[in-house]
Amino acid sequence: MADDGFDLFVIGGGSGGVRAARMAGQRGVRVGIAEAGALGGTCVNVGCIPKKLYSYAAEFRTAFEESQGFGWRTTDPPRLDWPLLKRNRAIEITRLNGVYEELLRNASVRLLRGRATLEDAHTVVVNGERLRAERVLIATGGWPTVPDIAGRDLVITSNEMFDLDPFPARLLVVGGGYIACEFASIFNGLGSRVTQIYRGAQVLRGFDDDVRHFLHDEMEKAGVEIRLATDVHGVARIADGLRVTLVGGETLDFDQVLYGTGRAPNVAGLGLERIGVDLDARGAIVVGDRFQSSVPSIYALGDVIDRIQLTPVALAEAMAVVDQLFGGGTRRMAYDGIPTAVFTHPNIGTVGLSEAEARVQFPSLRIYRTDFRPLKHTLSGSSERTLMKLVVDDASDRVVGLHLVGPDAGEIVQGFAVAMKAGATKAIFDSTVGIHPTAAEEFVTMRQPVGSEPERRRAQEPR
């Protein structure tokens, strides 16, 4: 490449793109990166970080209520200052944007503010400037999708949820995935009257069935109205909000309608088709094990390749790409055993296989399951319960699935994920001394296997 070009040009300044640019720059590689919006991508600006901050905010309402059982008395009922929460969140996100920019600067990465397009396999155009690059890495992430319903211009997506004005007293959440469930829980906790509608038979498709049913019950106990096996036909503006017509004709009125029905790879306008980059049926960039597309100089990672849409996955993929292009080439991305959390109320933490997935892979399983009222709630007055579940391969005794619904689930499951990655068996779990009194100790004290999930559910049905 000529002296005025780049060894690597990154399109997209989200978590994966910034990590790749920074790591490559630290190796002395000539790197450029283009970003039209705020640095940090979805996670920092309209995803993980602000959502977790609002989740913390929502937990305070129940904490104030539960404190009464521990002897605390308040003279005035607590009140949410929604503008203050929004303002403080914005200050923190702006700080993080600056951190990302400083990281790039310290790695000698040239940052270009603007939308990039590909003119050919080695030419990127940003704000009219043509830039040559030996390799181009696309890390443009995903974007929320809304189905083609009547009144779709009246609904909002997760991108708009953090700055609503005014605060929605009545909120409809459409969808049953983790984004929909998280926002339903969060805004219920903040004080909205929340209804969640999902066309499927149960929320959180793809998660363990025990987790799905348990969370559904806990969310409803907390005040979220969940309506399954139904869908929205259309949305119309009325004098005091939005009127939603369901399939079947029923109408409901709300202040805001959030669609959390999925995200699609953000590839529009990049010029990928023009230069021959293969896309799959959902618009994701097709890449091989080394993240190389059908055009040899074009690479991609993160949500735009639509493998596992998690920030830590994009970061790990970025490390693998940089090592393969500018390092020893030995680093590989492993997609098995990736832990994840869902910041509903209560939280979900999970790693490994669901019971249904494990039954496809292993001829014989042992299932350990418990649900209980946590120690805290013996005084708080709350009826919230915690669920813990282990899925064990009978032949090897390996723990192949671990699932938790309860407070701080992500914090607890992260440590167990390390043990499972190392191949921990149920015998090792059993020989580990628990920390008492904690919820986490239940994972090392479960001794009695239970029946399969379908068997347990049939046993609970009224006769």
pLDDT digit of tens for each residue in the chain (463 aa)? 445 699 999 999 999 999 999 999 999 999 999 999 999 999 999 999 999 999 999 999 999 999 999 999 988 889 999 999 999 999 999 999 999 999 999 999 999 999 999 999 999 999 999 999 999 999 999 999 999 999 999 999 999 999 999 999 999 999 999 999 999 999 999 999 999 999 999 999 999 999 999 999 999 999 999 999 999 999 999 999 999 999 999 999 999 999 999 999 999 999 999 999 999 999 999 999 999 999 999 999 999 999 999 999 999 999 999 999 999 999 999 999 999 999 999 999 999 999 999 999 999 999 999 999 999 999 999 999 999 999 999 999 999 999 999 999 999 999 999 999 999 999 999 999 999 999 999 999 999 999 876 666 666 665 4
Any catalytic annotation for residue 436?
yes
The architecture (CATH level 2) of 6-144+264-326 comes to 3-Layer(bba) Sandwich (3.50)
Within 303-398, strands assigned E span: 340-342, 348-352, 365-372, 386-393
pLDDT at position 74: 83
Helices 178-190, 209-222: crossing angle, 10 deg rounding = 20
> Which of 122, 233, 345, 436 is labelled catalytic?
436
pTM: 0.95
Domain segments of the chain: what residues?
6-144+264-326, 152-261, 346-453
Is 3.20.20.70 the CATH number for 152-261? no
pLDDT at position 459: 60
pLDDT at position 75: 82
Helices 209-222, 453-460: crossing angle, 10 deg rounding = 40
Nearest-CA neighbor of 244 among 223, 258, 260?
258
Please return the burial class of 426, using the count of CB atoms within 10 Å of its CB with bins 0-12, 13-18 and 19+. buried
pLDDT at position 2: 45
Q: Which fold has domain 346-453?
A: Enolase-like; domain 1 (3.30.390)
pLDDT at position 452: 72
Nearest-CA neighbor of 335 among 289, 403, 284?
289
Nearest-CA neighbor of 314 among 323, 327, 325, 305?
305
Distance CA 357, CA 365 (A): 11
> Fold match between 6-144+264-326 and 152-261?
yes
pLDDT at position 462: 53
